[in-house]
Amino acid sequence: MQNLQKLLEFLVKSPLDFVIVGGFAAVLHGCNQTTRDIDICLVLVPDKIQLLRQVLKPLNPKIRTTQEKPSFLTSPEDMSGIQNLHLETDLGVLDLVAKVEGVGDFYSVLKNAIEIELYGEKCFLISLDDLIKSKKALGRHRDLVVVKELEAIKNEIFR
């Protein structure tokens, strides 16, 4: 059974440097939408991917985009040039992205990210404005529904 709450706690207590993005970031900002995965943006270079493998090992991570669902601990062998990793773990679905649509790479997302405290740890959450930009750039119906809610949240915060 998916437990994104535990997955998030696991991630924030890990040594990984990341920014929470996507639908779960919308939830953290106060949206009513439900999401079935956690999306994080980070630097996906070989040594960071190796660290990811070590950190995620207890969660039995698998690559969920292929039918065979190979273990992320051994696949892909070539770790260069990876832009996205779509994983299935024992605690739920975890998507890792090197770039956020409409915003840019990890450092561009981090520049405006807000620091929040979760489970006694500091972590980074994509800014409301950057999340709106990324959802608009994706442009799917479900993203545009989230955009409306995020704009309502922005209005509430600054009114």
Partner 1 sequence: MNKLKHVASDRSWEKKGIDIWLIRSNLKLSHEDRVAQHQNTLDCIFELRKMKIPQHAKSAKTARISG
Residues lying near partner 1 in the complex (CB under 8 A): 1-5, 8, 24, 27-28, 30-32, 34-36, 116-119, 125, 145, 148-149, 152-153, 155-157, 159
Q: Is the dihedral of CA 23, 55, 76, 1 positive or negative?
A: negative
By beta-carbon proximity to partner 1, the closer residue of 90 and 105 is 90
Q: How far is the CB of 24 from partner 1 (least distance, A)?
A: 8
The number of C-alpha atoms within 13 Å of 26 and in the hemisphere containing its C-beta is 26
Contacts of 54-59 with C-beta under 8 Å, sequence gap 24+, read 55/14, 55/15, 55/16, 56/87, 56/89, 56/94, 59/7, 59/10, 59/89, 59/90, 59/91
By beta-carbon proximity to partner 1, the closer residue of 34 and 67 is 34
Residue 9 buriedness (CB in 10 A; 0-12 / 13-18 / 19+): middle
Q: How far is the CB of 34 from partner 1 (least distance, A)?
A: 5
Q: How far is the CB of 143 from partner 1 (least distance, A)?
A: 15
Q: How far is the CB of 28 from partner 1 (least distance, A)?
A: 5
Alpha-carbon distances of 9 from 12, 19, 31, 81, 120, rounded to whole Å: 5, 14, 20, 28, 10
By beta-carbon proximity to partner 1, the closer residue of 49 and 146 is 146
Q: How far is the CB of 128 from partner 1 (least distance, A)?
A: 12
By beta-carbon proximity to partner 1, the closer residue of 36 and 142 is 36
Q: Residue 90's CB: how many other CB atoms inside 10 A?
A: 15
By beta-carbon proximity to partner 1, the closer residue of 15 and 120 is 120
